[in-house]
Structure 1
Amino acid sequence: MSRATKEGTFGYLKKFGNYSKDFYRFNGELFFPSLGIGTYKAEPYKEDNYIINYAEAIKTALRRGINFIDTAINYRYQMSEREIAEALNVMFAEKEITREEVIIASKAGFIPLDFPFPDNPYGWIQENILDAGLASKEEIVIDQHCMSPAYLRWSCEQSLRNLEIETIDIFFLHNPETQLGYVDQETFYERIEAAFTLFEELRSEGKIVSYGIAAWNGFLYESDHIEYVSLGKVVEIAQRIGGKNHGFKYIQSPFNLAKPHAYGYANQQSSDGMFYPLMHVCAHYGLTYIGSSPLLQKNLFKRAFAPNVAELMNTGDLSDIASALQFARSAGGICAIFGAVDPAHVIDNAVLAYLPEASPKAVNTLMKGAYAV
């Protein structure tokens, strides 16, 4: 089997019987850890991106019960995907893990360029995207984002090559709201429809299992904001394209102590005409919610947390990072994704696997201090 399976992910979690019983969650198809590992690195043009390597952190995560790996083709000019392959190939060869045990998600939408950073990035786009017939100039927004079906197909197939796997378990359309403000709403949803049509083709070809949208603010804004994305409209598109058995199964967006809108801000309209928070509407439509940026790219830690945060999160003498991760994984999403290059940081974060998640009452208490509903 060339993809994650229910049986494989269940077999994996049984290796960690000393963990808290709620560390793993089941969405009807796969067993997810409530903490996943991501491979995003901000400011990828910086020199340290040429010397870091995620492979050891990935191997450490898999050895510590974290079998959800999140990446994107544009992370570090395709290097993050290639380093995941480096880690997986070693562990597969040594029979430490099987492909069926690992959930792999990647994303398409941003133009990735390639490592090392090209001397002329615009020349790279011209040669590899425009001249190759993957998109027209009009389909590329601000020289960085594209949702043309030909480009998205190329992106998926290139990710498969980078990851050295046959099938991606979750394939996200990456921050599509980037295009809003440059194209009108009608054009935007037409492009979503074309993308989903392609994704259903990729499913039928066995190149992806399921798909979703990974957005930054698109699902979290006010409904009249220029970059607002309506989840209801997106679901209608998926149902129209793929029928009852469509592959649109996942939403990813930021969720953390400073940005808890997905849990507490009623801005998405459900089928009853009422507005609810994103997590609620995801559950209504049968979508699995995955939280990103639980540490807000370290911006949560400009000053120490109040003492009651650790008390509410049951994180005792652990770090503020542990408290933030505990909050992010306790509010209703199936998984919260943290980024880590240093294996020691993965080990520190995996300590949370021994703790029960925080109670709804504790989460709601912190919510009142973080964001007024």
Structure 2
Amino acid sequence: MTTAALGLGTYRLRPSALNDAVGRAATDPGTAWLDTAPNYLGGQAQPLLAPVLTQHSVQVSTKVGFLTGQSAKDAVSDGVITSVDAEHGHCLSSPYVHWQCARNRTELGRGRLDLVFAHNPERTVGDPYEALRGTFAALEAEAAAGTLTSYGVATWDGFDTGALSITALHRLATEAAGTEQHHLRAIQLPVSLVTATAFAQALNGDGPIAQAAGLGWQVYASAPLFGGELPHLATRELTALLNPDLTTVQACLLAAASCPGVTRTLLSASTPAHWAEAQAALRNPALPVPTLRKVLDVLAAG
């Protein structure tokens, strides 16, 4: 069993750190990956990333769903969302998805998007599956037009609450494409020693991570350090259970990257030291499943 690859998340990066962070993420062409969204950094993440992306070969995942104040105004003006959608701040309708994909390409300076996530569909008004039916139809059309390679679903708690399931997502994508050879190829969800429901299920070969992996989809682990809070919650005893030779941060990262089925761990690392620390952690062998079970049991008991 191998550890998941490392990818750069941009949700918590400081704008001044973007250029150098992308450069560090691009150092390994085989695994270089950047995850962003049009609403990150107050809507400025993608325009700020565009110039540096011309200098580095990095694959990029972006998203559709959340609206910033400016994008909401522009989308209403262009007639692709209603004022109600704008007020809600989230939309996954087919017209909006096409509009946002085009805007993402412009903001990122790319003619083709590598991966587009439907962002937190559990936040939509009404049934998320009804919303995703139109979303997937639009994304399949984008793929057919050659403007994106694949798409996925990024969620915070949609799988934990039962609002989403891999089986239903696969079925919707098959309907949208008219074949099981659809372009839904990834999910993104929190995987850490704190957000551990899907993690624990994966250790038993069940749950959304295992089911997605079984379909050959990529699984992106977000918030592996729980927004930076996990290292303050973990004890040295817990770190010793995982790997006594690592720092607490490294041990927590390695745990998330060792989750069976996870293919990439996304980390917002603003400094060279933090990125190097993460790279060193993920060069270690994956932690054994019995060790991960033991640690999750200890945390659950605490």
Tell me if TM exceeds 0.5.
yes
Report whether the alignment pairs 1:78 with 2:43.
yes
Where 2:115 maps in the other structure, the secondary structure is strand
Query: Which letter maps to 1:320?
Result: T
1:134, 1:259 → 2: CA distance? 35
TM-score normalised by structure 2 residue count: 0.89
Structure showing the higher helix proportion among its residues: 2
Report whether the alignment pairs 1:190 with 2:130.
yes
> Is the contact between residue 114 and residue 148 of structure 2 (CA under 8 Å) also seen in structure 1?
yes
Matches within 5 A, 1:339-350: 339-350=268-279
Aligned-pair distance for 1:358?
A: 1.3
Where 1:262 maps in the other structure, the secondary structure is helix
Structure 2 CA distance for partners of 1:363 and 1:169, relative to 1, 3 Å: same
> Is the contact between residue 260 and residue 370 of structure 1 (CA under 8 Å) also seen in structure 2?
no
1:130 maps to what in 2?
76
> Is the contact between residue 38 and residue 64 of structure 2 (CA under 8 Å) also seen in structure 1?
yes
1:216 maps to what in 2?
156
CA offsets per residue over residues 7-40 of structure 1, 9 Å max, x none?
Answer: xxxxxxxxxxxxxx945xxxxxxxxx62111000
Matches within 5 A, 1:221-370: 221=161, 223=162, 228-242=163-177, 243-265=179-201, 276-307=206-237, 309-314=238-243, 316=245, 318-332=246-260, 333-370=262-299
Where 1:54 maps in the other structure, the secondary structure is helix
> Is the contact between residue 329 and residue 335 of structure 1 (CA under 8 Å) also seen in structure 2?
yes
The one of 92, 95, 105 aligned to 1:150: 95
1:113, 1:159 → 2: CA distance? 16
Aligned-pair distance for 1:64?
A: 5.2
1:26 maps to what in 2?
none
Where 1:298 maps in the other structure, the secondary structure is coil
1:6 maps to what in 2?
none
Aligned-pair distance for 1:107?
A: 0.7
2:64 maps to what in 1?
108
Unaligned runs of 5+ in 2: none
Where 1:63 maps in the other structure, the secondary structure is coil
1:303, 1:214 → 2: CA distance? 26
> Is the contact between residue 260 and residue 371 of structure 1 (CA under 8 Å) also seen in structure 2?
no
Structure 2 CA distance for partners of 1:83 and 1:53, relative to 1, 3 Å: farther
1:7 maps to what in 2?
none
Report whether the alignment pairs 1:160 with 2:101.
no
1:312, 1:158 → 2: CA distance? 47
CA offsets per residue over residues 24-80 of structure 1, 9 Å max, x none?
Answer: xxxxxxxxx6211100029xxxxxx5x533110110122256501111111013322
> Is the contact between residue 52 and residue 341 of structure 1 (CA under 8 Å) also seen in structure 2?
no
1:355, 1:104 → 2: CA distance? 25
Instruction: Indicate the RMSD between aligned Cα atoms, in angstroms.
Output: 2.4
Bigger shift: residues 77-86 or 355-364: 77-86
Q: Say which one has the larger Rg.
A: 1
TM-score normalised by structure 1 residue count: 0.73
Query: Which letter maps to 1:35?
Result: L
2:157, 2:129 → 1: CA distance? 17
CA offsets per residue over residues 99-149 of structure 1, 9 Å max, x none?
Answer: xxx3211111000345xxxxxxxxx63x412221011234x1753101121
2:32 maps to what in 1?
67
Aligned-pair distance for 1:150?
A: 1.6
CA offsets per residue over residues 315-344 of structure 1, 9 Å max, x none?
Answer: 51x321111110010012011111122233
Unaligned runs of 5+ in 1: 1-20, 24-32, 43-48, 92-97, 115-123, 267-274
Where 1:251 maps in the other structure, the secondary structure is strand
> Is the contact between residue 241 and residue 291 of structure 2 (CA under 8 Å) also seen in structure 1?
yes
1:207 maps to what in 2?
147
Structure 2 CA distance for partners of 1:232 and 1:22, relative to 1, 3 Å: closer
1:111, 1:131 → 2: CA distance? 14
Structure 2 CA distance for partners of 1:149 and 1:344, relative to 1, 3 Å: same
1:347, 1:175 → 2: CA distance? 30
> Is the contact between residue 191 and residue 222 of structure 2 (CA under 8 Å) also seen in structure 1?
yes
1:112, 1:253 → 2: CA distance? 22
> Is the contact between residue 53 and residue 83 of structure 1 (CA under 8 Å) also seen in structure 2?
no
